[in-house]
Amino acid sequence: MAMADAACSSEQTGTGRRRFSPLLTIEQVASRTGLTKRTLRYYEELGLLRPTGRSDGNYRLYSEDDVERVERIKELRDLLGFSLAEIRAFLEADDEREQLREAFRQESDVEARLAQLERCDTLIQRQLQLIEQKITGLEQLRSSLQARLDRHAQRRAELLQQRSSLDK
């Protein structure tokens, strides 16, 4: 069995406490996320995912953040039923927000910071709108099914009453 504790290129702190979590091989990411290695490479090819680094031998190395991103992709794919292209757009908004965060921390001018917040909010609003649209559609579906159950409960009550009056 090879590659037991792979790629500890990020070292420990002087005291022995881990400052950076060790980077992961593609196999480890695959087993943690339930995706196949092929799929991870494919997502990278589409620009959805960029592993934090590469080993000396050109092996992909993933950080915990990368794993989180993978989970995010899965969520968007399974919950929202988005195509990978749509997910890409969605994540690009995330990325721009990340950039804005960085810029925000370096910016000192109050007006500029307010403008950045504004921009960031519109990005979020757009995502929220998409999600809420899906939710209302689903809730509509749910309530129609629920109504059916309610009608059945009504019928059931009638039938039970019928039965008890016969039992007498």
Partner DNA sequence: CTTAACCTTGACGTAAACGGTAAACCTGTG
Partner DNA sequence: CACAGGTTTACCGTTTACGTCAAGGTTAAG
Residues of this chain that bind its own copies (CB under 8 A) = 75, 78-82, 110-111, 113-114, 117, 120-121, 124-125, 127-128, 131-132, 134-135, 137-139, 141-142, 145-146, 148-149, 152, 155-156, 159-160, 162-163, 166
Q: Which is nearer to DNA, 46 or 115 (CB)?
A: 46
Contact 48, 87 (CB under 8 A): yes
Q: Which is nearer to DNA, 72 or 77 (CB)?
A: 77
Report what 58 binds from DNA, its own copies, none; CB cut-off 5-8 Å by kind. Answer: DNA
Given 16, 56, 129, 149, the residue binding DNA (CB under 7 A): 56
26-33 helix and 37-45 helix, angle to the nearest 10 degrees: 100
Rounded CA gap, 69 and 64, in Å? 9
Rounded CA gap, 32 and 12, in Å? 23
Residue 105 beta carbon to its own copies: minimum distance, rounded to whole angstroms: 12
110 near DNA (CB under 7 A): no
In sequence order, the 6+-apart residues with CB closer than 8 A to the CB of 30 are 36, 37, 39, 40
